[in-house]
Amino acid sequence: MRRHISKAQTQTSTPQKANFEGNEVEKSDNQPPGHLELIAQEVTKQMNEAVGKFKGEIISQITTEMGATVKEGDKVLIDQSKLDASNLLFKLPKSQHSSYEVWFQVTSLPHHGTIMVGERNITKEKPNFSQYIINKFGVTYLHDDSDSLADSFTFAVWPNKKSKSATKPEAGFLEELFNITTTPGSPAE
């Protein structure tokens, strides 16, 4: 007598394993449909939370007053005490610290004044300066003598390999606002 065995009867219920983002995930016939998708969503959520925490750590590493005060029509030196992002280098392995320097790019210029590095104005065409420049010479904000009591500029900041030109990367940079408070000058006589 011949017995017929179906294909379904010959299959065993061995778990299948997969590797997702470095985590081993097991799937067997006993798990509900969509199980792997739920695991993938949870891993993605945990990764996003970790990235958010990492970004928060970087932001807290910028040492700055994030602002300066200037008399109307006058200038103020923005030095290391007012703007210091050199701690971004500490996110790199210690052996790489000397191979990198911190660069800034002004992404939104002030409306009521000018930022200068030495005698050169920071412009949309030439928006970059380094932490080294801030530490050694500072950058200057020159108020335009308007009646505005507040101004600001936005900058991106990132660690840049010394052997490469300072170009803002697509990712891995911070963007911050630097506020400038203007105190009124004496009325004209």
Q: What is the average per-residue pLDDT within 89-106? A: 93
Question: How many CB atoms within 10 Å of residue 92?
Answer: 13
170 and 81 inside one domain: yes
Question: Domain containing 85 — which CATH number?
Answer: 2.60.40
pLDDT digits over 45-78, tens only? 555 454 444 444 444 456 656 799 999 999 999 9
Same domain, 57 and 104: no
In a domain, 52, yes or no: yes
pTM here is 0.66
Both tokens of residue 183?
């105190």
Do 139 and 104 lie in one domain? The reply is yes
